[in-house]
Amino acid sequence: MTTDLHVTRIGHSCHLLEIDGQRLLTDPWFTVTPTYDPGEPLALSVEQLPQLNGVIITHEHYDHCDLDALAGYRDKGVPVVVPETVAAQARDHGFTDVRVLAPWQRTEIGDVTVTAAPARHGVPEITYVLQGGERTVYFGGDTLAIPELSELPDRFGHFDLALLPTNGLCIRPMNLEQVVMNAIQAAELTAVLRPDVAIPHHYAFTSGWLGDRLITRSDPDPRHFADAAGRLAPDTTVLLNPPGGRVSIP
């Protein structure tokens, strides 16, 4: 019997994953500021979240770590898995089961094993491999494509699902330094991971009318990833999942 695997995209990189009956929230973001806007409607509020079994956070940036909003969640005992740089902040917001991981360390949430994987971004970050039953998921936060990620298939075997950033975010005041993988790099990583299904995220984000012109530059069109993955990873099905879309992975 195949283990159930479902994913609901709330917005940006925030997903509700259902693996083997466990509900895990990724990179919570529920509010908007003038310089941090998801660029798309959010499917759920904190108050509308179902009972969660765990929360996983890749790094401290507001669009992945909206703990001010998540502090309104009704169960402060929910396990919250974080890198070291987020631990104190999570505890300060009242969460009592904060689990700190470094790359290749793991923890158990119910029947799901959560393993931290390497990442590279503008601040310290980890990504995650989630395993429950015979299902394996990679959640890429907003990392760059780095050589260490090529180790994932050897370490974890077959991937059912990969959730990957695709907007190639660059910082204008830093000579357009790139801090997030772009569509082609995400497609190249898809070819390495060979998941059955890949879903792009982290693409509609905007820094606001002025911020997009002075601070950031990015690619907001996930179809660029779909096109590149079609060429580079033709055996993977790419799904463009809008906010609120619930996908069942075969």
Q: What is the pLDDT along the chain (250 residues), one digit of tens a residue?
A: 689 999 999 999 999 999 999 999 999 999 998 888 999 999 999 999 999 999 999 999 999 999 999 999 999 999 999 999 999 999 999 999 999 999 999 999 999 999 999 999 999 999 999 999 999 999 999 999 999 999 999 999 999 999 999 999 999 999 999 999 999 999 999 999 999 999 999 999 999 999 999 999 999 999 999 999 999 999 999 999 999 999 999 9
State if pTM tops 0.75.
Answer: yes
From the list 154, 153, 218, the residue with the least C-alpha distance to 191 is 153
Q: What residue type is assigned to position 55 of the chain?
A: V
Give residue-wise pLDDT tens across range 30-69: 999 888 899 999 999 999 999 999 999 999 999 999 999 9
Place of tokens 């096109």: 227
Residue 23 belongs to some domain of the structure: yes
- Total structural domains in the chain? 1
| Cβ atoms of 146 and 156 closer than 8 Å | no
pLDDT at 34 (0 to 100): 86
Task: Find the domain containing 40 and state its range.
Answer: 5-241
Residue 165 belongs to some domain of the structure: yes
Residue 247 belongs to some domain of the structure: no
Residue 250 belongs to some domain of the structure: no
Residue 248 belongs to some domain of the structure: no
Phi, psi of 147 (to 5 degrees): -60, -35
Distance CA 118, CA 99 (A): 17
pLDDT at 1 (0 to 100): 61
Residue 213 belongs to some domain of the structure: yes
Q: What is the CATH number of the domain that holds 93?
A: 3.60.15.10
Residue 174 belongs to some domain of the structure: yes
| Cβ atoms of 77 and 98 closer than 8 Å | no
Residue 83 belongs to some domain of the structure: yes
Q: Which residues contact 211 (CB under 8 A, 6 or more apart)?
A: 34, 35
